[in-house]
Amino acid sequence: MFKDKVVIVTGASSGIGAETALAFAKEGANLVITYKDNKTGAEEIASKIIEAGGGAVIVQADLTIDSDAKNVIERAKQEFGKIDVLVNNAGRYIDGDEWNGDCEIWTQSLLQNLVSVMSVSRYAIEIFQQQKSGVIVSISSRYSTDGQYDALAYAAAKAGVANITQAYAKLLAPFGRANAVSPGAVNTGYWLRAPKEELEKNLANIPSGKLVEPGEVAEKVLFLASDESLDINGQNIFINNNNIIK
């Protein structure tokens, strides 16, 4: 499906990003994966990508820094000559992001979860416009349509990701497309270390009664990046959305 395609996956040293990168590799893609701090994780994923038959380039990047974001795109172009797909996955929830929290935490959350997406996408779109082809898939969140007073800036940032996805869809519409995926609680990151009581409370409000697996998110990303979804543009696809209360 993606043989010889060039795919960038940001934040691919673990979790959703890692599973997504591996899924593309199994379909024959060449990967450029980024990491901020987890070099060991990124190297392990790169080895697995190569074992799966794909090519792998690792780029260390703090995507809140414009020059780092630009370098990711330039490295992909230098190594593979083109870019077919950008998956905006990098981002994280920061403890203390509450309605009465610290302004610095809000700022960091917006930078890491929204501005980082804008920075990388900006340079990717320039390449897509030159090529007259290209696809963006961004990881948003169920919080993108659900106000959260205990994850204030994170939720606002993910709503922003859904919004700019529509803007990018309009920019790319003549030759490409942009969509977002919004998982509910995923069995990685925060939920792996969450207190048992909090996890049980969350699961009680999910109709399926389970967390989303990273591989399930990866499947949706690949679908939206493939030719099977040529008629889908500017959409925010929800997965196991626990906004739907039992």
Please tell me which residue in 123, 154, 168, 190 is annotated as part of the active site.
Answer: 154
Task: Give the range among 80-84, 203-207, 209-213, 215-219 with minimum mean pLDDT.
Answer: 203-207
CA 102 – CA 89 distance, rounded (Å): 25
* 98-126 tens-digit pLDDT: 999 999 999 999 999 999 999 999 999 99
Can you give the pLDDT at residue 240? 74
Q: Calculate the CA dihedral of residues 225, 84, 189, 69 and round it to 10 degrees.
A: -140
Can you give the pLDDT at residue 245? 43
Mark 107-138 as b/e (b = at least 16 C-beta within 10 Å): ebbbbbbbbbbbbbbebbbebbeeeeebbbbb
CB contact at 8 A, 16 and 218: yes
Q: 83 or 194: which carries more pLDDT confidence?
A: 83
Residue type, 59: V
Can you give the pLDDT at residue 243? 54
CA 204 – CA 227 distance, rounded (Å): 37
Can you give the pLDDT at residue 193? 74
Which residue has 């987890």 as its token pair?
A: 38
Spatial CA neighbour of 98 closest among 157, 162, 163, 155: 155
Can you give the pLDDT at residue 207? 76
Q: 189 or 215: which carries more pLDDT confidence?
A: 215
Q: What structural domains does the chain harbor? A: 6-239 (3.40.50.720)
* 216-246 tens-digit pLDDT: 999 999 999 999 999 999 999 998 755 554 3
Residue type, 106: W
Can you give the pLDDT at residue 17? 97
- Band (pLDDT 50/70/90 cuts) for residue 171 is very high
154 is catalytic: yes
